[in-house]
Amino acid sequence: MDKKLKKVLVPGWAVMPELYGPLIGDPGSDIYDFSFFSGESTDQLVNFDSLIGSFCDSPCVLHAHSLGAMLCIGALPRLPNVKALIIYSGFAKFARTGEDNPYGQPPEIIGMMKRYIAENPESLVKNFYRTMFHPERYAGAYPGILNIACLACGLGTLSANDCRANVAGIRIPVLLLHGAKDRVADVKLAEELASALLDSRLHVIDDAGHALPFTHADKCRTLTGNFFSDHDIK
């Protein structure tokens, strides 16, 4: 049923937008581009809240992966045309802060990534793809151009943003899809997010990791189709 609604997809950190093609499929779908792999600007990331509105100017389903999911949770109060949210490998807060958010990434890990993005960005992105695709192997090409400023800004966003206060106010149905073997975002983050949402369904896929939208695109489409049929979203 969600074919009647426009699909808008918001990618994760350092993920090439074209990787989402098999997941989204429809030629009329829109993929938000943070410009991680072009130019030197950080505008698409810094101004996400204001820019995403033009993508959601008509009734739509918002699909969001990882960093994109957190940003969409933050922006939803200003997106009245979004009828449902699909979250892949997502969270409302990524970083651990002292004893808060204990399943988040430790700040020292994010700090190390910030150092590497300045010193050896190509190696960092390749290592990230290996971690993201675990337990499978990434066999595709790596991006040839890196927007170092935007990638660094994205790490800062992952480190600082906390959108948990928005979660209880979300009134649209939310489907969360998460890999049990995710080494980037612990599945506990998805479980906590799902439990705080008013209308949610969580599917944990046993043999998937953080690259779930790419490695299990068919499974994701099936679960999404079932979700919208059950909710009679047109």
Domain that holds residue 226: 2-231
What is the CATH classification number for the domain harbouring 15?
A: 3.40.50.1820
Which pLDDT tens digit goes with each residue over 173-200? 999 999 999 999 999 999 999 999 999 9
Residues 133, 211 contacting (CB under 8 angstroms): yes
CA 102 to chain CA centroid, Å, is 20
- Beta-bridge partner residues of 82: 60
Q: What is the pLDDT of residue 25?
A: 76
* Low pLDDT (below 70) residues in the chain: 1-3, 27, 234
Residues 6+ apart with CB under 8 A from 8: 29, 30, 31, 32, 52, 55, 56, 60, 61, 62, 63
Domain count, the chain: 1
Residues 6+ apart with CB under 8 A from 132: 15, 138, 183, 184, 209, 210, 211
Q: What is the pLDDT of residue 234?
A: 64
Best CA proximity match to 177, nearest among 234, 143, 115, 222: 222
Q: What is the pLDDT of residue 2?
A: 40
Report the C-alpha gap between 77 and 165 in whole angstroms: 12
For residues 193-202, one letter each, b for 16 or more C-beta atoms within 10 angstroms of the residue's C-beta and e for the rest, the string is bbeebeebbb
The amino acid that residue 159 corresponds to is S
Residues 185, 213 contacting (CB under 8 angstroms): no
For residue 63, the SS3 value is strand
